[in-house]
Amino acid sequence: MAFSMFLRNSACTNRVFTQQLMRMASQATLTQTPRLLGNSTTLAAPAFKQTTTTPLLDAVRSFRTSAPRLSEKGSDHAKLWVIEKSVTVAMLPLIPLGLAFPSKIIDAIVAVLITAHSFWGLEAIAVDYVRAAIFGPFIPKVAIALVYLISIATLGGLFYIISHDVGLANTFLQLWAVKSQKA
């Protein structure tokens, strides 16, 4: 996947680079005719010769990592992956910052990031493991609907805690402050 993303890069899509790559791919096509070394019958490495077969670049371009119906829509999964990882990295300083300086704004940002992060994780699980080939066409749709329902309920519950209660940070601080009572 990284190699196909590299080939879609603007530096790789210019005309000069593409022509050079096509020339190299067509010149380095491996043939199946072995050579003999001197008078012995030992086979050497296969010979290289210029042929008119399909260049290597065409084979790489035809390789797809996503379903054909998704690639026809023009959706870019690489951008979504970058957004997912950016949300994860953004949570690293925001969660301790929210605990150190409790405020409704930081709590709301953390609530949205946590909900988005868990939505993408649950959606990946539902798409990967609840497939139509195994469960039929109806159950995967129900699984995705449940993911949306869980995410909406989570975000609504977190916003309720932020607006009508003490807030996320103070809720976590209160949970950590609970001491066990000895009988």
Long-range interactions of 149-156: CB distance < 8 A, separation 24+: 150/122, 151/115, 151/118, 151/119, 151/122, 154/114, 154/115, 154/118, 155/111, 155/112, 155/115
Structure tokens at 178: 């609970």
pLDDT-derived band at 26 (thresholds 50, 70, 90) equals low
Q: What is the pTM of this model?
A: 0.57
pLDDT at 29: 47
Angle subtended by helix axes 168-177 and 77-100, to nearest 10: 60
Cite the residue boundaries of each domain of the chain with CATH code 1.20.1300.10. Answer: 73-177
Asked if the model's pLDDT at residue 21 lies above 70, the reply is no
pLDDT of 52 > 90? The answer is no
**Side-chain half-sphere CA neighbours of 148 within 13 A:** 6
Q: State the pLDDT at residue 180.
A: 67
Q: Which residues are annotated as a binding site for heme b?
A: 117
* DSSP 8-state class, residue 42: -
Distance, in Å, from the CA atom of 155 to the CA atom of 107, rounded to the nearest integer, reads 12
Q: How confident is the model at residue 31 (pLDDT cuts 50, 70, 90)?
A: very low
pLDDT digits (tens, 9 = 90+) for 119-165: 999 999 999 999 999 999 999 999 999 999 999 999 999 999 999 99
Kindly report, residue by residue over 3-19, the tens digit of the pLDDT: 555 556 665 556 666 66
Residues in the annotated binding site: 117, 129
Top-level class of domain 73-177: mainly alpha
Question: Residue 100 to residues 125, 160, 165: CA-CA distances in angstroms?
Answer: 33, 21, 18
Per the prediction, the chain carries an average pLDDT of: 77
Which segments are annotated as binding site for a ubiquinone? 129
